[in-house]
Amino acid sequence: MKILFVCFGNLCRSPMAEGIARKILGTNAGMESAGTHAYRSQRPTAEAVETMRDKFGIDISSHRSRNVQDLRIEDFDYIIPMDDNVHEELKRDFSGLGEKLMLSWSIIDPYGRDLSTYEEAAARIQKKVEELSVFLKNEG
């Protein structure tokens, strides 16, 4: 099973979701992330790296941003948008996704904000990944 987390720039939310999902789901699924407006090969924000390291014991420092347009999005079983705007862009740009495109997780973009905003976003992402884990167990 392949899961794709998508945010705007692939610098904060989707890399955090990918890291948390790897920790929670382990080898039960392949996790990747991308952005709808990502510049290729940028590093995640320092705040995202710090939050993941200090709060979750996860190292995302080697992550490099990718644009969703560079992927074979149809190869993923589930595509999870981090907010409503990303959901609408994916629906518009990839009209054939159908049920692969899940509902928005409504995670506020912490980019350019303080560390506590990153921590709040990561905590919400963790809760959503835990819910996803239950959903996937019930699906299988």
Task: Kindly list the catalytic residues.
Answer: 7, 13, 109
Task: Supply φ then ψ for residue 106, to 5 degrees.
Answer: 55, 45
DSSP 103: P
In this structure, the number of other CB atoms found within 10 A of the CB of residue 18 comes to: 23
What Rg do the C-alpha atoms of the chain give, in angstroms? Answer: 14
The residue among 48, 31, 56 whose CA lies nearest residue 132 is: 31
Using CA atoms, how far residue 115 sits from 49, 51, 76, in Å, is 10, 7, 31
Contacts of 81 (CB under 8 A, 6+ apart): 6, 7, 87, 90, 101, 102, 104, 105
